[in-house]
Structure formats: structure tokens, C-alpha cells
Structure 1
């Protein structure tokens, strides 16, 4: 698996993530580095994409939708991807985890364990 680079400055961030589609593409690569796998039926392949919903992918097998943010700290937010990624990028640089760890929910689970 290749490591995805995350920008370290605002100009680099704006170049890498100019719009919601670029952010969604990045999140998809973080979530499924070897390609989409439907979390519901296990099908692998290229999902259907919606032009007006860059954060939603539809399985070509079971026809169910999957949000890129499902199961992550972003799942209940209405904040646009590029704004949320900016916040996560700042958090990653100041607290230590990689962006991929923040997105994957590892930090969320760590917090739940520490609070138990």
C-alpha cells in the first residue's frame, strides 16, 4: 500500500483538495487502498458514483449506498469534506496521529478505550 501524502501548508492543501470531489477521491483511497469493497455484501470493483453526492458510492452488486464517512469521526457531520480535512490535518500535525489514523477511526476507538 502506498502512503498517501497529506499537505503540510494551506497552499498545498488548496492545490491537493480544490473541491469536494478531490476530497472524496482522497478519502476513498484512504478507506479502500486496494479498491472499493462493499461493506454490506463484500463485492469488489468500481462502484456507481453520483455527480451531486461525491461522498456516496453505490455497490453495483447489491445496489446499496455507502458513505465515505460511515464508521468514522466524520459520519454525523454535515461539514464539507474539504473543511473537515483541513481540521483533521491541523489536528494530525499538532497531536501526532497520521491523517489515515484519524480518518480510519483508530483515534476514536483509542479514546473510547481510555475513557472506559
Structure 2
């Protein structure tokens, strides 16, 4: 429902008009525009990101209440929720998270603080 301060399309109507149109003010003018319908990107990178996000969300639901409260405690100084902090860390490019999510395991000399993998076994 648009928010009207005066008659429609005059002095500042903003908001949605049905599900098809939106009213906005741009560069000093009131406009009515068709709401964009975003394309569903199905590129390999987009599908991979969706897959990993879904896996991270599923893992969050498997955490115990104690683990969730620990994530909440770690997130508070960052002004985030525990869920948001967990998802942000889960989606970082970290082989220690991605391999177990995909059913793999880590082996070899792994130094996560220096981001180094040494003496990896041949696949």
C-alpha cells in the first residue's frame, strides 16, 4: 500500500501499488515503475554458493543449544547475531569446513594460522 502525503503521483507518494508497481521519488521527481523480476541465475558459481549456503544452514540446525549460545557470545562484540556470525564464518573459503561439508576429510601437514597445506597426499 503506498504512503500518500498528497494525491497519488503528486507530492511524495512512496511504496508499493499492488504487486506489480512501486512508487518512488528519484532526482526530485515522483515516478511509478514496474517492480523488477529478478532473474534466477543458474551459473555454476551461483548454484555452488546456494548449495554451500544450504549446507551451512543445515549444520546450524544440527548445533546444540550450548553451541548456539557460544556463537551468540562470539557474535555480540561484532554487533551480529550468532546465526549471522556462524553463517559468515561457514561461507568463508576454508577447506576445513568445505571438505567435511562435501563428505571429504583433511590429511597432511595443515597450518590454518598461516593458511598453508604441506605434504598433501596424492589423490
Between structure 1 and structure 2, the one with the greater Rg is 2
- Does TM, normalized by the shorter one, top 0.5? no
**Into which bin does the TM-score normalised by the smaller protein fall?**
under 0.3
Higher relative contact order, structure no. (Cα contacts within 8 Å, ≥ 6 residues apart): 1
